[in-house]
Amino acid sequence: MSTGSPQAAVAPSAGELVSATVKLARSFGVRCDDPTVLRDRANLIVHLAPAPVVARIPFQLNRFRDDVLGGQRIEVAVTGHLAAHGLPVIAPLRDIAPGPHTVLDRHVTFWPYVAKLDERPEPTAVRDSLTAIHRALSTLSIDLTGRGPARDIIGALGRIPLSAPRQAAIRAELDSLLEVLASAPTQPLHGDPHTGNVYLTAMGLRWTDFEDIWCGPVEWDEACLMTGRTPLRPAPRHDRHPEVLSACLSLRRLQADMWSACTG
């Protein structure tokens, strides 16, 4: 892994990114008197209040992923495609160009602010809507080569101090899991559909965070649902492919371990 990655330079602070993003948004005519940070983990999510606009800026994500900008471009394209097909997603802004736009050494995308309701969506609605999204993604013409959890795990291995035997063990485990996944049919997936990325709004259920889209077995998205902050029970249909689901669950855990090792 090249030492010229974003991690090698001094990363801008959250405050610096917010200030630069507010300045950029104002240049587009967005009124922002009270920017409010909604989340500051993988991405820095900022409500540019009082405008109904949210800025999304890669933050900790840069610590283990090189092609963050590519993921942002894909996310804008995918959500626009899904929204055009009537799927329940947070679509890119129309009043201003959603981006990505350059902010310091990062890139920002702009999205409509949509308030979450307190209650959670029903599991059946979550699964049914994700299935509909899978069908719509199959009609999308986009290159997903080289994307997926293996990319993140390999990227993390190049950034964290591990002994040679430990590195070898992780790579062997990864190869073994990928061999199981290779035996299953693949399709375009959300890529990170844990229950923190779907919520209820006044307009109904809405999905967000499509920057991890990749082409893999549907059991991967199922594994993400099963291991989110509010885990869902496995869908009955996946009882037919227990070995693939089990491999996806192990791969998800390995990805999470690498994320924790990179971000602390």
Domain residues of the chain, as ranges? 6-112, 123-263
Banded pLDDT at 96 (limits 50, 70, 90): very high
Summarize pLDDT for 166-213 with one digit per residue, the tens.
999 999 999 999 999 999 999 999 999 999 999 999 999 999 999 999
Find out if CATH 3.30.200.20 is the number for domain 6-112. Answer: yes
Secondary element (H or E) of residue 15: helix 14-27
Q: Is the pLDDT of residue 14 over 90?
A: yes
Residue 235, by phi and psi: left (phi above 0), alpha (psi -120 to 50) or beta? beta
Considering the entire predicted model, what is its pTM? Answer: 0.90
Q: What is the CATH number of domain 123-263?
A: 3.90.1200.10
**Rounded Cα gap, residues 45 and 41, in angstroms:** 9
Residue 228 is predicted with a pLDDT of 77
Banded pLDDT at 264 (limits 50, 70, 90): low
Rounded to 10 deg, the angle between the 242-263 and 164-181 helix axes is 150
